[in-house]
Structures are given as C-alpha cells and as structure tokens.
Amino acid sequence: MTALAFPYPIPEYGTEPYWQACNEERLVMQRCAACDRFRWTPAPLCTFCAHDGYDWAPLSGEGRVHTWTVITHAVHPAAVARVPYVVVEVELAAQANLRMISNLIDCDPQAIRFDAAVALAFTQHPDGQKLPVFRLA
C-alpha cells in the first residue's frame, strides 16, 4: 500500500519564484522596492507602504522560535504516521516581526524553548516540491 502524502502545495499566482527557490534549497521573500521591508506572505502590494514594486531577495533562513505547537492528533490521514510533529512560527533574523509558519524537525518536542535559535532545512514532498522546514540550531 502506498503511503498517503500531505496535500501538494500549489503555487498561487505570483509565488512561483518562491517555490522555485525552495526547489534549489534557497529561501527568498518579496522585498519592497520602496521601503526595503520583507513581506510574508507574497502579495501584489507592500503591506507596510502599499508600493507595488518588489524583488525576490535571499534570506539566510536563520531565526528564532516565536511560538510552536505539538500536533498529537492526526487530522489528515497522511499525518497518522507523523504524529507527534511540531508546527513552529519562526521569526526570521532578516527583519523584526518577519515570521513564517513551518515544521520543526528532528527534535524532541520537550527540548523546544521560546526564542531558541533555528536554522533552515528542506524536505521533499513525494510529488517533488521541496518545502522549507527548520531545525534547532
């Protein structure tokens, strides 16, 4: 029997550069051409100044745990073999309050602490798309 996979991430309009960079094991985010601030999630206008110009800038992937939760109950059939797993909100080092949600992998959930340093890693979805995840640094 083939193992079930979590749903495949489907790039929305304008997010293709993000997903392509993930496949190259790089993290990029939109950076406003006017105020130079990063924004997450990708959007056609800057959430800080409403400017429509931006570039896709690289980030180190270093950050700190802002908050997390340990999933102990499978809410999707593909999660049955994974529980427990950790969903983490990481504040990225590139900018104050720049946060993204991902998974924290290869760690004992009891070892996680607020403000713990994390580093970017990548996993691969069975359909081939690479996904950004984090490990304790």
For residue range 35-73, list pLDDT tens digits in order. Answer: 999 999 999 999 999 999 999 999 999 999 999 999 999
What residues does each domain of the chain span? 16-136
Mean pLDDT along residues 117-135: 96
Q: At residue 19, what is the residue type? A: W
Instruction: Output the CA–CA distances (angstroms, integers) from residue 92 to 52, 71, 77, 80, 110, in the order listed.
Output: 23, 22, 31, 30, 22
pLDDT confidence of 7, banded at 50, 70, 90?
confident
For residue range 66-108, list pLDDT tens digits in order. Answer: 999 999 999 889 889 889 999 999 999 999 999 999 999 999 9
For residue range 69-78, list pLDDT tens digits in order. Answer: 999 999 889 8
Q: Which residues 6+ apart lie within 8 Å of 26 measured at CB?
A: 58
pLDDT of 31 reads: 98
Say if CB 13 and CB 41 are below 8 A apart: no
Dig out the tokens for 17 from the structure: 């550069």
Helices (H), 24-131: none
pLDDT confidence of 1, banded at 50, 70, 90?
very low
The reported pTM is 0.92
Burial of 120 from C-beta contacts in 10 A (0-12 / 13-18 / 19+): buried
Q: Rounded mean pLDDT of the chain? A: 94
Say if CB 119 and CB 135 are below 8 A apart: yes
The pLDDT of residue 130 is above 50: yes
The pLDDT of residue 111 is above 50: yes
Say if CB 19 and CB 40 are below 8 A apart: no
pLDDT confidence of 3, banded at 50, 70, 90?
low
